[in-house]
Amino acid sequence: MSPIVRLAPSLNPMTLRAIPAIVLLTALGSACGGSSSQHPTTPPPPGLPDPQNYAASMDAKERYWWQQPERVVELLRCAPGMTVVDLGAGTGYFLPYLSSAVGREGRVLALDVDHSMVDIMVRRVQRQRLHNVSPSLVAPDDPALTPGSVDRVLAVNTWHHLTDRVGYAEKLLDALRPGGLVLIVDFDENSPEGPPVEFRLSPSTVVAELESAGLSAELLEESLPYQYAITAQIP
pLDDT of residue 161: 82
Is the distance from CB of 210 to CB of 169 less than 8 angstroms?
Answer: yes
What are the average pLDDT values for consecutive 10-residue runs of the chain, which has 235 residues? 34 32 35 37 42 65 92 97 94 97 97 88 96 91 89 93 91 97 96 89 97 98 93 96
Query: In whole angstroms, how far apart are CA 113 and each of 81, 90, 121, 124, 142?
Result: 26, 9, 12, 17, 11
- Residues contacting 112, CB < 8 A, separation 6+: 23, 24, 25, 88, 89, 90, 118, 121, 135, 136, 137, 138
Length of the chain: 235
Q: Do β-strands 227-233 and 176-187 pair in parallel, antiparallel, or remain unpaired? A: antiparallel
Q: Taking Cα atoms as reference points, which of 163, 25, 169 lies closest to residue 90?
A: 25
Tens of pLDDT, residues 25-48: 333 333 333 333 333 344 443 433
The model's pTM: 0.78
Q: Which sequence spans correspond to the domains of the chain? A: 15-233
CATH code that applies to domain 15-233: 3.40.50.150
